[in-house]
Amino acid sequence: MHIGIDVGGTNTDAVLMDGATTLAGVKHSTTPDVTTGIVQAIEALREQHQFTGPEIQAVMIGTTHFINALVEAKRLAPTAALRLGLPATRSLPPMVDWPAELVDALSARTYLAHGGYEFDGRPISPLDPEELRAHARDMRGHGIRSVAISSVFSPVNHDLEVQAAQIVRDVFAEDGTPVAISLSHEIGRIGLLERENATVINAALRELAGEIVDGLTAAARAQGITAPIYLSQNDGTLMDEDFVRSYPVATFASGPTNSMRGAAVTSGLTTCAVVDVGGTTADVGLLVGGFPRETAGEVKVAGIRTNFRMPDVLSIGIGGGSLVDPETAEVGPGSVGYRLTTEALVFGGSTLTATDIAVAAGRADIGDRSKVAHLDPAFVDRVLARIAERVAEAVDRMRTSPDPIPVVAVGGGSILLPDELPLFGTVHRPENYSVANAIGASIAQVGGEIDKVVAVEPSRREETIATVKQEAVEKAIAAGARPDSVAIVDFDEVPIPYLPGNATRMRVKAVGDLQMDAR
């Protein structure tokens, strides 16, 4: 058995799973200290279905905690950004395009040093250990506790990042000052500023990550659970405790990912569109082979451009709390949000919401049905038709081919959707749809990704691709995947113009089942 938990802003959902079977599922309010809510959720699970601590093989958690910490600019460690690339890149130093208040919140300091590689792996300039030691001493003197190191073209060759990390670590070790180090090649893709930004964000969250992991572990141990704890990442794969301590940034978009993955496992569909309807928005994503399709370009997080892995999600302003215009029958984007239980008509309030429409249409039995009896059935139908039309349009925008694609609806607000969607036909509504995100968190898979520029000799293209794919497979196994279960789930090859030697950017993702008993 294993436990899946999704800690959202409002609710903490938890499920007890036996393989892909849901034994128990609960919804609980999220508590300010997070771990209390988790402890309570686990206790509620035990009430529904008895288990002993040793029976639990793993606990998988999805959390919005780290991204909230960044957005609120709270509990961020004093961070230094060290870039290797001089004399190149000097005019655009690290954090050049950051909002000033976040730079302040990080007590950030930026440093430029020699190093870096050309696109083909030749050095731009050699590393200067004395220069790096001077920078490290300056960091130490300014109370820096976490360092983000980026080097030009480190996705091609990351040796210098590793060497610089050792020098910085040695300087801090001279007087025993603790320091956490984040390396850009392990976090982002090609695009120095975006990769560096993601690395600095990661560095700023390192201390918090340690505290959170300690808290989560303590919460599980207090329940007699000795099994390892995993957190889910943006791409739907899991990371272990140590990985979270080092790479908290990888949890950022795990919320929508967990919903989508949960929709896949509960519906039995691995390639489908998922509509997750909450209180304020409906989020539409696409699952391909069981994994969310990712955004192609940059993603802004708290006003910062980054290029790490995020699911491609389209949000439209339709949810259970959406306001309904009594004249036009138009829905949203305004919403009563968490005040639904006091403001909606069915709860004795005075605001016409989408939930009222669902109750009036007999799709849901919530609150006092008599309070919506006066609504004109023709009007109710118009509102529902409008919702269906807009959701269908959003799904159509997300799908990648004109071929028919099944649609799966999850989330508490999915009662707003009809059984048939224009263009798409039947809407699949899996059991346990309201805790699909916790189920998604519980799916035990791990992955490895490679993104690099390689020179492809025309006669050796197949061989080169095979080598890069093998690297991704090995990375997944190193991350804890069972070797016989690892498969390539994504491969992308883009030839790069103006570079000699048929330079090609290759991106490969391998994923496999978590080796549950090995840890």
**Site residues for another protein per CB under 8 A:** 85, 87-92, 96-97, 116, 118-119, 122, 124-125, 152-153, 190-193, 296-297, 305, 397-402, 453, 456, 493-500, 502, 504-505
What residues contact 309, with CB distance under 8 A and at least 6 apart?
A: 233, 234, 235, 250, 294, 449
Q: Which is nearer to another protein, 23 or 503 (CB)?
A: 503
Amino acid of residue 402: P
Residue 88, token pair as written in the block: 């190149």
Q: Which is nearer to another protein, 229 or 453 (CB)?
A: 453
Minimum CB–partner distance for residue 518 and another protein (Å): 37
Give min distance, CB of 182 to another protein, in A: 18
Pairing of strands 11-18, 21-29: antiparallel
Q: Which is nearer to another protein, 124 or 205 (CB)?
A: 124
Q: How far apart are CA 395 and CA 420, in angstroms?
A: 13
Nearer to another protein, 194 or 356 (CB): 194
CA distance 122 to 159: 12
Q: Phi, psi at residue 283, to the nearest 5°?
A: -105, 125
Based on CB atoms, which residue is closest to another protein, 87 or 143? Answer: 87
> Is 190 or 421 the residue whose CB approaches another protein more closely?
190
Residue 29 parent element (H or E): strand 21-29
**Closer by beta carbon to another protein, 134 or else 398:** 398
* Residue 295 CB, nearest approach to another protein (Å): 10
- Residue pointed to by tokens 């200067």: 128
Find how far residue 3's CA is from the centre of its chain: 19
Residue 114 Cβ vs another protein, minimum distance, rounded to whole Å: 11
For residues 155 and 480, which CB has a smaller minimum distance to another protein in the complex?
155
Q: Do residues 149 and 164 lie in contact, with contact meaning Cβ atoms separated by under 8 Å?
A: yes
Comparing CA positions, the residue from 218, 224, 223 lying closest to residue 34 is: 218
Between residues 199 and 355, which has the closer beta carbon with respect to another protein? 199
In the block, residue with structure tokens 């305004």? 334
As measured in angstroms, the least distance from the Cβ of 422 to another protein is 15
Nearer to another protein, 178 or 500 (CB): 500
Rg (CA), the chain: 25
Length of the chain: 519
Distance CA 231, CA 3 (A): 12
Smallest gap from residue 285 Cβ to another protein (A)? 12
Q: What distance, in Å, lies between the first and last C-alpha atoms of the chain? A: 15
**CB of 119: closest distance to another protein in angstroms?**
5
- Nearest-approach distance from CB 499 to another protein, in angstroms: 5
Q: How far is the CB of 429 from another protein (least distance, A)?
A: 25
> Hey, is 181 helix, strand or coil?
strand
The Cα 462–Cα 306 span in angstroms is 32
Residue that has been written with the tokens 């956490």 in this structure: 180
Q: How far is Cα 35 from Cα 37, in angstroms, rounded to an integer?
A: 5
Nearest 5°: phi and psi at 511? -140, 145
Question: Structure tokens of 498?
Answer: 């103006």
> In whole angstroms, how close is the CB of 184 to another protein at the nearest point?
11
